[in-house]
Structure 1
Amino acid sequence: MDNQGQNMDALVIGAGPAGLMAAEALADAGQAVTVAEAKPSVARKLLMAGKSGLNVTKDEPAQTFATRFDADWLAPILSSFGPDQVRAFCEGLGQPVFTGSSGRVFPVAMKGSPLLRAWLARLAAKGVEVKTRWRWTGFEGAALTFETPEGAQVLRPHVTVLALGGASWPRLGSDAAWVPWLRAKGVLVTDFAPANMGFRMDWSVHMARHFGQPVKGACLIAGTRRERGEFVISERGLEGGGIYAISRDLRLGAPLALDLFPDLSLADLQARLGRSRPGETAANRLRKLGLAPAAVALVMEVALPLPADLAPLLKHLPIQHAGPRPLAEAISSAGGIARDSLTDDLELRALPGIFVAGEMLDWEAPTGGYLLTASWATGLHAGRAAARHLQSARIQN
């Protein structure tokens, strides 16, 4: 291969949801597209997420949906590909969807593999070529270098879409190895931090029998924010949807507390406690209030010695955690390529002709279908913009 590298029309690096969506957008615009994926198979994080049911989006109005993200600039991108478009996309692949009681939307098949198989078949029919075990290793001048089964490759595509993911679940491919290469080219990348993660607890031995047990019906309090949700007591700490919903606030330093009786006023709870028999143990009093054994154990773990008046404690139980679980365990990551380094088309200002999509970008959202929808939406946006860039360059030449 010559030193100038192999020319090609459009290259997408990363075959997750964002990358595959970008590839389809480019193919639909009539471009020849190559997708380079470092792993032996594609969309590993999508398939892993689908093991417990693939939550593709959230059934709520578009304006409400956009407020779930910490990045206002995503709103116009999500308006073009939001919950309604996600449902249509899945159904177009022969995967009907349904909305659960929480508003979360799932394929009827639940798993991610039927949707992915249908999507890959459609991409192949459109001429998209997927190369697995092609690992991007950085830049050689303006060209892109790869380690492949055929040896080192140097590519010089006319347009490139980067969709390499953030920094969570690195074993599935999102290892953030690209950060120093882009920073060296003048791209501002905010340091990654865990998002939608659990929090460590230094449990006593008495908590072991409650590992894996949920605490239901509580309101989680993070500073001034209150969220109803379920969470799980695990060997590693506190995990689950309720914790994930406030994980950003906790990561940024908000204190954690629980209202174990959110449907009762302080006075009503005090009245119930007042009906306890004299001399009754605190544990029995808590159980008779209807708290599950795991919740009783949590109160005894974090609040001994208990006060005589239990009601204020049960309405605001302080939880001293030991910080977030590691980034590698997080469902998603905060941080990434800063908005100031991007045009409205998600093109890198420092590297014209290179576009970015998915969790490489600096945005954060809770679980519940938001992460996947935004990955698809930014992939579509970047892919369409890359196609326009390529068409404009051809006209000028």
Structure 2
Amino acid sequence: MERPEALVIGAGPAGLMAAEEMARAGLQVCVAEAKPSLARKLLMAGKSGLNLTTQEDAEAFLAAYGAAESRLRPILADFGPEQVRRWAEGLDQPLFTGSSGRVFPIAMKASPLLRAWLARLAGLGVEMRPRWRWQGWSGAALAFATPEGERCIAPGVVVLALGGASWARLGSDGAWADLLAAKGVPLAPFAPSNAALSVDWSAHMARHFGQPVKPLALTAGGQRVRGELVVSAKGLEGGGLYPLTPALRKDATLTLDLAPDLAEAAVAERLAQPRGKRSQANHLRRTLRLDPVRLAVLNEFARPLPPAPQTLAARIKALPVAHAGLRPLDEAISTAGGVRWDGLTDELELRALPGVFAAGEMLDWEAPTGGYLLTACLATGRFAGRAAAARLRSGPAGGT
């Protein structure tokens, strides 16, 4: 029976940050990870450019977390965008800020940052144990399936950073939910967040697969987002859609504004210009500069197009999207649901399991892409690691 001072289960950003904080506090820390390699989802996110955080007004940044904002506020106040920047730069990762305020490493990829981070953790004495899959409890100890067979650990404190329930092949399979539910931990059901929409396209849309729809504004549930979409074989995806996922989960109607820089009256006025011998499609191209992709989307969801300029203008400015709902949970970038806040103390300790803390995406919060997800994972991991270290120093945690 091993008895390390601190155990982290899950080697994503939240788990690694928790391990770093506990090691800095002088604890003996080991990290158990079910997969053969560490931080797989972070590496996947970095393939298209690792968006670490976003530089914007503090209140605007916090508003991105929706219903969880009040619980995350003190955690993000302690470790927000500026602290994330300093942390990354401390790992010798130079950064740049894009025109949208999004912050990236100059290298763009996640792998250089991860290598530097793992080297730091090794220097702090953190022990990594890949291929250690958590199986639950064996008495007061935690049981793992490992390449050497079943092993049990009885640590002083535990930080769980097990991720959500999307991208199971990268490690976030949500299998931990049943283990915690059996111990009385309250859970909110998993749901897709930052998810694409399923659309049963007509055959003529195939030529547009992979093409962006822009300029564009999207509205659902009273929220309007200026962004873009991508037409894919399965439906619609992209950064403009993801902030609307909470509303779409509630069956809110999604509408597209295909001419976001013009008022409806201006669109109608342009459409009312003499058409001559031009086809309706050419008239739309000439008067509104609608490109082939936006024209195809308009025809897909509004065919037959109304001939009256005012009616057609209203359709262009608020085009209802016929879809078959969000794509499956495992395809979502992230998930909502997880450990409910009423099951946690202010220190992120599980009320049902003294000495066990939780961090990262396994908590019941969600945020759009754009650095918000990674920032909160790092921040909650840091917070939980510090709280766990303080808990161990204050006295026995009780049966975990």
Query: TM-score higher than 0.5 here?
Result: yes
Matched residue, 1:273: 271
What do residues 320-343 of structure 1 show as CA deviations (whole Å, max 9, x unaligned)?
111000111110000000000000
After TM superposition, list the pairs within 5 Å mapping 1:99-178 onto structure 2: 99-178=97-176
After TM superposition, list the pairs within 5 Å mapping 1:77-92 onto structure 2: 77-92=75-90
1:254 and 2:226 matched: no
Matched residue, 1:371: 373
Deviation at 1:372, TM superposition (A): 0.2
Which amino acid is the alignment partner of residue 291 of structure 1? L
Deviation at 1:279, TM superposition (A): 5.1
Aligned partners of 1:152, 1:394: CA distance in 2, in Å?
A: 26
Q: Identify which of 332, 335, 341 aligns with 2:334.
A: 332
What do residues 267-300 of structure 1 show as CA deviations (whole Å, max 9, x unaligned)?
2111111114145322222222211101101111
What do residues 153-192 of structure 1 show as CA deviations (whole Å, max 9, x unaligned)?
0111110000010011110000111101100100011110
Change (3 A) 1:122 1:279: same
After TM superposition, list the pairs within 5 Å mapping 1:26-41 onto structure 2: 26-41=22-37
Asked if the contact 1:276–1:285 (Cα under 8 Å) also holds between the matched residues in 2, the reply is no
Matched residue, 2:189: 191
Asked if the contact 1:35–1:130 (Cα under 8 Å) also holds between the matched residues in 2, the reply is yes
Task: Look up the SS of the partner of 2:128 in the other structure.
Answer: strand
Which amino acid is the alignment partner of residue 11 of structure 2? A
Matched residue, 1:350: 352
1:68 and 2:68 matched: no
Matched residue, 1:295: 294
1:389 and 2:391 matched: yes
Query: Which of 370-379 and 56-65 deviates more?
Result: 56-65
Task: Look up the SS of the partner of 1:238 in the other structure.
Answer: strand
Task: Look up the SS of the partner of 2:5 in the other structure.
Answer: strand
Matched residue, 1:307: 306
Deviation at 1:14, TM superposition (A): 0.4
After TM superposition, list the pairs within 5 Å mapping 1:87-98 onto structure 2: 87-98=85-96
Q: Give unpaired runs (5+ residues) of structure 1.
A: none
Task: Look up the SS of the partner of 1:130 in the other structure.
Answer: strand
Task: Look up the SS of the partner of 1:116 in the other structure.
Answer: helix
Asked if the contact 1:135–1:148 (Cα under 8 Å) also holds between the matched residues in 2, the reply is yes
Aligned partners of 2:143, 2:114: CA distance in 1, in Å?
A: 28
Query: Which of 248-257 and 71-80 deviates more?
Result: 248-257
Which amino acid is the alignment partner of residue 291 of structure 2? A
Asked if the contact 1:60–1:103 (Cα under 8 Å) also holds between the matched residues in 2, the reply is yes
Matched residue, 1:53: 49
**TM-score, length basis structure 2:** 0.96
Aligned partners of 1:248, 1:293: CA distance in 2, in Å?
A: 30
**TM-score, length basis structure 1:** 0.97
1:15 and 2:17 matched: no
Aligned partners of 2:381, 2:238: CA distance in 1, in Å?
A: 28
Deviation at 1:64, TM superposition (A): 2.0
Which amino acid is the alignment partner of residue 168 of structure 2? P
Asked if the contact 1:22–1:382 (Cα under 8 Å) also holds between the matched residues in 2, the reply is yes
- Identity, % of aligned pairs? 62
Change (3 A) 1:273 1:395: closer
Query: Which of 303-312 and 372-381 deviates more?
Result: 303-312
Aligned partners of 1:223, 1:90: CA distance in 2, in Å?
A: 36
Which amino acid is the alignment partner of residue 315 of structure 1? K
Asked if the contact 1:190–1:335 (Cα under 8 Å) also holds between the matched residues in 2, the reply is yes
Aligned partners of 2:8, 2:273: CA distance in 1, in Å?
A: 67
Corresponding pairs, count? 392
Deviation at 1:394, TM superposition (A): 6.5
Aligned partners of 1:325, 1:93: CA distance in 2, in Å?
A: 37
Deviation at 1:142, TM superposition (A): 2.2
Taking only aligned residues, the RMSD between alpha carbons, in angstroms, comes to 1.3
